[in-house]
Amino acid sequence: MARISAGVATSHVPLLGRIIDINQTDSDEWRPVFSGYDFTRRWIAEQKPDVVILVYNDHATAFDMKIIPTFAIGCGPEFQPADEGFGARPVPTVQGAPDLASHIAQSVIQQDFDLTIVNEMDVDHGLTVPLSLMFGQPQAWPCKVIPLAVNVVLYPGPSGQRCLNLGRAIRQAVESFDADLNVQIWGTGGLSHQLLGERAGLINQQWDLAFMDKLKDDYAQLASIPQSEYIRESGTEGCEMVMWLVMRGALNARVEEIHRHYHVPVSNTALGHLVYENRD
Amino acid sequence: MSSQQPYQDIPGTTVFDSSQARKGYHLNQFCMSLMKAQNRQAFKADEAGYLAHWPMSDEQRQAVLDRDYTRMIALGGNIYYLVKISATDGLSVAAAVSSMTDMSSEEYLQMMKNGGRPVTGNRYIQEKK
């Protein structure tokens, strides 16, 4: 049967993709940011996941004001990197995993989560930047990817508890898929940042580090935080952190944190990164 | 404060909720059109003419022409849509974002390098007074 072996959390700041694309990750300015992924790049090369379920948010790319799904799963065979206003990133086409994705959709819908099924969409920096951070600049991505888009742009997004429960439902779905697959789940976005208004540039390191501490064992407490508190404490865009709870919910109650990285700032944002391995 | 809007007392912050989204529908959809290279060219060649094709308010059109991001946010724009305008202008997200603060772009970037804007004193409007 398929199994989820590990979870990865990371910010998905668009500027990181740009710095990778212009080969500046080793510069004095950027080395401290990217060196925090050296461990993970070595680790993931050994882990060789067959499929990554990549939880991210679409930033007015595939979904505009016409259609705004709260949760959407990409079931198509491939997804093109989007032109977000300055040309598409020069990264490989993302290969989907239609069989597993469709199985997850069916299973999760039958567990009372009304996922939107998307067969064709372009994917933006929310999805491609994490791939670049973990895999660098390959000719083709070394695994299949199931995009799972969460609305955190139009208020309200789903609650932390709903995200945690969705993760649990995804785990059940994966474990009932009849194929020997090593699956990882990634939660992306955050940490504290606010991209608008006089309060733009807000960073709350204490909040971010407490969130990273609690995610391992005290995630039930994190799941009770309302979106308005994320906004107040970690900025309007800080609420992206609920996507880390989808990842946490899909893992075992017991996990080991094998890597952590935190850096302020990347552009307007506090960058956070964690790697969890499942333990029995 | 409406129980539906428990974020109304956060200073310097506009939450993109359903009322803002309704107000900004066409402004945001105009921004979406800038995802295509040919539309970016058409917009740059004749900004007012391009904007005239969108059923936006005159106030919204003027805010776009003025690149007044504070005004665009107030009129229902969402930052992820609006940065398609700054991308068309060849500007960084930070440049567009910093224009909404009382700092220059350089001062803003320096603040970020120093650890960002502190949350202390910035949680509640009452604290700011």
> Token digits for A211?
């969130």
Whether residues A156 and B115 touch (CB distance < 8 A) is answered with no
User: Would you write out chain A's pLDDT as a tens digit for each of its 280 residues?
Assistant: 999 999 999 999 999 999 999 999 999 999 999 999 999 999 999 999 999 999 999 999 999 999 999 999 999 999 999 998 888 999 999 999 999 999 999 999 999 999 999 999 999 999 999 999 999 999 999 999 999 999 999 999 999 999 999 999 999 999 999 999 999 999 999 999 999 999 999 999 999 999 999 999 999 999 999 999 999 999 999 999 999 999 999 999 999 999 999 999 999 999 999 999 999 8
Return the beta strands (E) in chain B as ranges: none
Q: Distance (Å, rounded) from C-alpha A18 to C-alpha A228? A: 31
Phi and psi, residue B67, nearest 5°: 50, 45
**pTM of structure:** 0.97
Q: Which CATH number fits domain A3-278: 3.30.70.270, 3.40.830.10, 3.40.366.10, 3.40.50.150?
A: 3.40.830.10
What pLDDT is recorded for position B3? 72
What pLDDT is recorded for position B128? 66
Query: What residue has token string 């936006």?
Result: B56
Per the CB < 8 A criterion, the answer to whether B39 and B84 are in contact is no
The beta-carbon neighbor of B78 closest among A87, A153, A231 is A153
Does B119 reach chain A within 8 Å, measured CB to CB?
yes
A85: Cβ–Cβ under 8 A, 6 or more apart, which residues?
A: B34, B35, B40, B83, B84, B87, B88
Query: What residue has token string 């299973």?
Result: A107
> Token digits for A156?
């309200």
Length of chain A measured in residues:
280
Q: Chain A: nearest CA to B91, how far in angstroms? A: 10
CATH architecture group of domain B14-89: Orthogonal Bundle (1.10)
Query: How far does chain A reach from its first CA to its final CA, in angstroms?
Result: 17
A93 CA to centre of own chain: 18
Per the CB < 8 A criterion, the answer to whether A275 and A257 are in contact is yes
Q: Chain A: nearest CA to B80, how far in angstroms? A: 6
> Token digits for A238?
């800080």
User: Would you write out chain B's pLDDT as a tens digit for each of its 129 residues?
Assistant: 567 899 999 999 999 999 999 999 999 999 999 999 999 999 999 999 999 999 999 999 999 999 999 999 999 999 999 999 999 999 989 999 999 999 999 999 999 999 999 999 999 999 865
Residue extents of the structural domains in chain A: 3-278
Chain A to chain B Cβ contacts (< 8 Å): 149
Query: What angle separates helix A98-110 from helix A160-175, to the nearest 10 degrees?
Result: 120
Whether residues A85 and B81 touch (CB distance < 8 A) is answered with no
What pLDDT is recorded for position A168? 98
State the best of A30, A195, A204, A225 to mutate against chain B, taking most chain B CBs within 10 Å: A195
Residue extents of the structural domains in chain B: 14-89
Give the tens place of pLDDT for each residue, B69-80: 999 999 999 999
Instruction: Spell out which residues of chain A touch residue B110, defining contact as CB-CB under 8 Å.
Output: none
Per the CB < 8 A criterion, the answer to whether A170 and A111 are in contact is no
Q: Which residues of A are catalytic?
A: 125, 193
Query: What residue has token string 């989808």?
Result: A246
What pLDDT is recorded for position B72? 98
Phi and psi, residue A89, nearest 5°: -65, 145
Among A65, A237, A86, smallest CA distance to B86 is for A86
Q: Distance (Å, rounded) from C-alpha B64 to C-alpha B71? A: 9
Q: Which residue(s) pair with A262 in the sheet? A: A272
Nearest Cα residue in chain A from B107:
A201
Q: Distance (Å, rounded) from C-alpha A277 to C-alpha B129? A: 47
Among B65, B32, B71, B36, smallest CA distance to B51 is for B65
